[in-house]
Amino acid sequence: MGAWYSVGVMFGLGTAIGIAMSAALRRLTFALLIAIAVAVVIGALVWGWPQAAGGLVGAAFGVLGAMPVVVGTLRRGGTRGGTATLLGGAALGVAVLAFVPVVGYLEAVAVLVLGTRLRRRAPDTHAGLRTLARD
């Protein structure tokens, strides 16, 4: 098909790796470093350096997009195992869809955009308690 297809596959696989690492490690720095390293190694060994660069970008987008979901879920009382299981299943679905032409590119951007929107919409801590104290 061409290099654009394999780069797109690595974008999607990198995104899936980033989502899985975010769920498993729950620390932004560690998840980002490990996801990028794994995606670059897979891309370089299987295809070449352009694909490794696609994996790098996809992994970064995956971690940065999934981390607000992980942090928000754990802050609201979700369990670590449940969060990792659900996001691991989502990562598996993202990895499968990455092999559809052009979808890998779209997945990476969609995960980053959705994660950014969640981060902006996060409520302030205890915002409603100030109004109750005035009574």
20-31 residue pLDDT tens: 999 999 889 999
Residue 131 has pLDDT above 60, yes or no: no
Q: At 79, phi and psi to the nearest 5?
A: -85, 155
pLDDT tier at 133 (50, 70, 90 boundaries)? low
Residues sharing a CB contact under 8 Å with residue 7, sequence separation 6 or more, in sequence order = 50, 51, 53, 54
pTM as predicted: 0.85
Q: Encoding tokens for residue 24?
A: 């498993």
Q: What is the residue whose two structure tokens read 């596959």?
A: 9
29-73 residue pLDDT tens: 999 999 999 999 999 999 999 999 999 999 999 999 999 999 988
Whole-number Å distance between alpha carbons of 127 and 135 = 15
pLDDT (average), residues 72-88: 91
* Better pLDDT: 132 or 91: 91
Residue 121 has pLDDT above 80, yes or no: no
pLDDT (average), residues 11-16: 96
pLDDT (average), residues 116-128: 66
